[in-house]
């Protein structure tokens, strides 16, 4: 009887630099955890992994977090087994000594499924260039990786891109979610369906004070669940500026709850619990899209205002209703934007219909981790070079 062939297991090095927020690390951790869940082994190299203490406190079997700034860790990796796949997240320039070691072990093959693979994982965008550049090769002519070929891998919203990160069990988890029980476990005294729940994960939007004032003066009770960090500081500053916005129900229809830092799984649950979600950056936008509920995105601001075109491209890609476009223009302080609209029932109904359609369309394309494994040869023969 012929012996069964052993299941394929790849070994990845993922490199991540933390700039000034948690998005890059959040994306890289999700990718590492999903690859490990598929049977691969991952080393996540990060220059500042402190946020993982609350983002992923339980860690993940198959994922080793390595301090990129530790010379001893780099030296040990250079002496050890060479990974099968190297992921450079967001142009972060991987450790030169490890790139050199990777190049020395690289065979001649450069096509998908052959030899070792170097992937340049790019930022998420709906702009047209993403489809043109996705999976394109980029030969390396100088430096420790000379002779290798990088390949661009772009997340995206169409079948001509690498898709979005999505765990296989995500929809099952959401289907079994109990909103009332979760809120009670957080110590939030929710007043039932008559009280609209809104999550806030933002930077410092100039429109925030006006939005808080609108909710406080509104006809329907609103409970705002504010995430830790910059969002909390922004809301407290707005309350101080407005004076009369107490956030405890005594100063109008608005109640405010301040949350601690949430693990990634609990952040998903926060989004599931709310009727409207304000998110920022890349990682939380994707999580909000999978919820299928109304969401408002504060895009990461860039000095040259390149984020304006990026935001408009995304609004076009999701065929956003006019009222949602107006909300995003005001929330992101786009040129010519009017005052921030306070979402009413009619707006939220239109946004809900749009969100459901976008989610169903995105579910038709394979998730990013699955596409990435297929591109680098996840169904090929294991090179056997990784340590077991």
Residue 155 domain-assigned (yes or no): yes
Task: Please check the confidence at residue 110 and state whether its pLDDT lies above 70.
Answer: no
Same domain, 95 and 227: no
Tokens describing residue 379? 């169904």
Same domain, 184 and 122: no
Among 29, 1, 138, 41, smallest CA distance to 383 is for 41
Contacts 24+ apart (CB under 8 A), 93-96: 93/15, 94/13, 94/15, 94/45, 95/15, 95/45, 95/68, 96/143, 96/144
Task: Please check the confidence at residue 38 and state whether its pLDDT lies above 50.
Answer: yes
pLDDT bin (cut points 50, 70, 90) of residue 139 is very high
Give how many domains the chain has, as a whole number: 2
Residue 27 domain-assigned (yes or no): yes
pLDDT bin (cut points 50, 70, 90) of residue 207 is very high
Same domain, 177 and 122: no
Same domain, 209 and 303: yes
Task: Please check the confidence at residue 212 and state whether its pLDDT lies above 50.
Answer: yes
Q: How far apart are CA 378 and CA 355, in angstroms?
A: 32
Same domain, 88 and 232: no
pTM for the predicted model, two decimal places: 0.92
282 catalytic residue (yes or no): yes
pLDDT bin (cut points 50, 70, 90) of residue 289 is very high
Residue 31 domain-assigned (yes or no): yes
How many Cβ atoms are within 10 Å of 149's Cβ, its own excluded?
15
Same domain, 283 and 342: yes
Q: How far apart are CA 208 and CA 220, in angstroms?
A: 18
Full DSSP string of 14-81: EEE---SSSHHHHHHHHHHHHHHHTT-EEEEEES--TTHHHHSTT--TTEEEEETT-HHHHHHHHHSP
Task: Please check the confidence at residue 270 and state whether its pLDDT lies above 70.
Answer: yes
Catalytic residue selected from 13, 24, 95, 269: 24
Same domain, 152 and 202: no
Residue 189 domain-assigned (yes or no): yes
CATH code, domain carrying 305: 3.40.50
Query: Where in the sequence is the domain holding 313, given as residue range(s)?
Result: 170-362
Q: How far apart are CA 149 and CA 22, in angstroms?
A: 29
Catalytic residue selected from 13, 40, 282, 367: 282
pLDDT bin (cut points 50, 70, 90) of residue 213 is very high
167 catalytic residue (yes or no): no
Tokens describing residue 256? 């405010």
Task: Please check the confidence at residue 204 and state whether its pLDDT lies above 50.
Answer: yes
Same domain, 118 and 221: no
- Mean pLDDT on 1-30: 78
Give the three-state DSSP class for 240.
helix
Lowest-confidence pick of 6-20, 146-160, 166-180: 6-20
- Mean pLDDT on 280-304: 94
Same domain, 125 and 257: no
Average pLDDT taken over every residue of the chain: 90
């Amino acid at each position: 009887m012929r012996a069964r062939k052993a299941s394929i297991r790849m070994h990845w090095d993922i490199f991540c630099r933390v700039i000034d927020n948690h998005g890059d690390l959040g994306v890289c951790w999700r990718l590492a955890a999903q690859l490990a869940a598929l049977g691969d082994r991952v080393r996540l190299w990060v220059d500042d992994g402190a946020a993982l203490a609350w983002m992923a406190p339980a860690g993940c079997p198959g994922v080793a977090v390595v301090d990129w700034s530790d010379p001893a860790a780099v030296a040990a990796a250079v002496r050890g087994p060479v990974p099968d796949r190297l992921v450079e997240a967001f142009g972060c320039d991987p450790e030169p000594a490890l790139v050199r070691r990777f190049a020395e072990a690289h065979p001649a093959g450069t096509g998908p499924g052959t030899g070792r693979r170097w992937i340049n994982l790019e930022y998420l965008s709906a702009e047209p260039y993403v489809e043109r550049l996705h999976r394109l090769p980029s030969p390396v002519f100088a430096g420790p990786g000379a002779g290798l070929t990088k390949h661009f891998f772009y997340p995206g919203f169409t079948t001509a891109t690498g898709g979005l990160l999505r765990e296989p069990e995500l929809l099952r988890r959401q289907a079994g979610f109990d909103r009332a029980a979760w809120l009670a476990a957080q110590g939030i005294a929710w007043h039932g369906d008559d009280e609209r729940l809104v999550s806030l994960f933002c930077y410092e939007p100039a429109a925030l004070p006006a939005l808080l004032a609108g909710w406080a003066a509104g006809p329907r009770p609103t409970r705002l669940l504010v995430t830790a960090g910059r969002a909390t500081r922004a809301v407290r500053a707005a309350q101080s500026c407005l004076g009369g916005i107490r956030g405890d129900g005594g100063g109008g229809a608005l109640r405010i709850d301040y949350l601690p830092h949430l693990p990634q799984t609990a952040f998903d649950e926060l989004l599931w619990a709310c009727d409207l979600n304000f998110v920022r950056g890349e990682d939380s936008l994707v999580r909000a899209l999978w919820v299928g509920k109304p969401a408002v995105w504060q895009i990461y601001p860039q000095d040259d205002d390149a984020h304006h075109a990026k935001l408009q491209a995304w609004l076009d890609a999701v065929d956003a209703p006019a009222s949602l476009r107006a909300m995003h223009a005001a929330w992101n302080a786009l040129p010519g934007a009017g005052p921030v609209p306070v979402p009413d029932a009619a707006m939220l109904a239109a946004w809900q219909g749009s969100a459901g359609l976008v989610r169903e369309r995105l579910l038709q394309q394979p998730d990013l981790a699955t596409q990435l494994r297929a591109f680098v040869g996840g169904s090929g023969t294991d090179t056997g070079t990784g340590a077991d």
